[in-house]
Amino acid sequence: MNTVKESKGLTAAVNVRSSDSAASFPPVIAKLFEPKPPFKFLEPIDYPVEQRRTKVVHGVGSLLDLVNKYNEEVPYTVTEGNQQRQQRLKQEKRKLETEKLQRDLAAWNPEKDLNMIGDASRTIFVARLDYNSTEVDLQNSLGVFGEIDRIRVVRDVNTDKSKGYGFVVFKQPEDARTAYRNSSSLTINNRPVLVDIERGRTVKNWKPRRLGGGLGGRHYTRRQIEKLSRQAPRYDRYPPPERYSSSNRGAYRGGAGSGGFRSHGAGAREGGQGNYRSSDQRDNRRGGWNGQRRY
């Protein structure tokens, strides 16, 4: 209480002094010491503290009837997304290809093919032909193995373009076998070709490549990988050591025997543990050698 009274008395004394000092000034300067008017009172825009509360939360059970009614009036229609459409088209395409393959397999019969003329044991198959190769080129390349009865280069029915393979019928089965054995490195029009027996009528349950069979493609990818692996540069400058031990660990410290650089100083003469510092400087300095490694 005494402290409050003292503070009030001090404030009154200050006001009296300020008023006395203001009265001693001219009116123009004394006006600067006049108290400012009080702030304008404004009504609060928020609720009073005793009336503040959150919104009342009610259940949504009364809205379920409206939702059910909307579902009955507007039925849901399933739509197809872009990814689902792509999967459906892919499955349909695969199904059509499978059905076509089954039909072609059922209709394929090399024994009843009108283009297959001659004995199968006297016929050889020539693949990987240049598209400009003709029957004359096959005659010149394979005629050295024996007398030829018939040559046919398979062409497209609509465009009359070569499909890259053909059949050669010899008059003797021995000539056909000789041509098959000795044509592993045969080239026609500067292009290596593949010579094989006619497997359609000689191998049981044989299917051509267009029907899911065959012996594979040209194997270009495999040969290219092998070629690149042979030409790949090696990044190891030196061959690996015969064995790994403590004597050939690599480090920039030590002499040549410890895998480091060879020094010609006093350390190299003393025991092979060379250092770039002289013998009188490497005992008590960092990085020196005094019988143990310092890190």
pLDDT, one tens digit per residue, over 151-193 is 999 999 899 999 999 999 999 999 999 999 998 889 999 999 9
| 29 has pLDDT over 70 | yes
> In this predicted structure, what is the pLDDT of residue 47?
87
What is the C-alpha separation between 170 and 151, in angstroms, rounded? 9
**pLDDT for the residue 6:** 47
Q: Quickly state the pLDDT bin for 201 (edges 50, 70, 90).
A: confident
| CA dist 55 → 52, 58, 98, 278 (Å) | 10, 10, 65, 87
Mean pLDDT for 33-59 is 88
Q: Is 197 helix (H, G, I), strand (E, B) or coil?
A: strand
**Which of 110-119, 136-145, 198-207, 227-236 has the highest mean predicted lDDT (pLDDT)?**
136-145
Decide: 134 and 119 in contact? Cβ < 8 Å.
no
pLDDT at 193: 92
Is residue 70 pLDDT above 50, yes or no?
Answer: yes
More confident residue, 199 or 253: 199
Cα separation, 181 vs 230, whole angstroms: 30
Please give the CATH superfamily to which domain 113-206 belongs.
RRM (RNA recognition motif) domain (3.30.70.330)
pLDDT at residue 5 above 60?
A: no
Domain extents for the chain?
2-33, 113-206, 248-290
119, with CB counted inside 10 A (0-12, 13-18, 19+), is middle
For residue 261, the surrounding DSSP H or E stretch is none
pTM over 0.75? The answer is no
- Three-state secondary structure call for residue 194: strand
**Sequence-separated contacts (24+) of 113-117 with Cβ below 8 Å:** 115/152, 116/200, 116/201, 117/150, 117/169
Per the CB < 8 A criterion, the answer to whether 252 and 263 are in contact is no
Whether 60 has a pLDDT exceeding 60, the answer reads yes
| pLDDT score at 14 | 44
- AA letter at 28: V
Q: Give 103-128 pLDDT, tens digit per residue.
A: 998 888 888 887 778 888 999 999 99
Q: What whole-number distance in Å separates Cα of residue 150 and Cα of residue 143?
A: 11
Helices first, then strands: H and E counts in the chain: 8, 4
SS3 178: helix
**pLDDT reading at 202 higher than 80:** yes
Question: Does residue 265 have a pLDDT over 90?
Answer: no
With vertex at residue 232, the alpha carbon angle to CA 219 and CA 224, rounded to the nearest 5 degrees, is 10
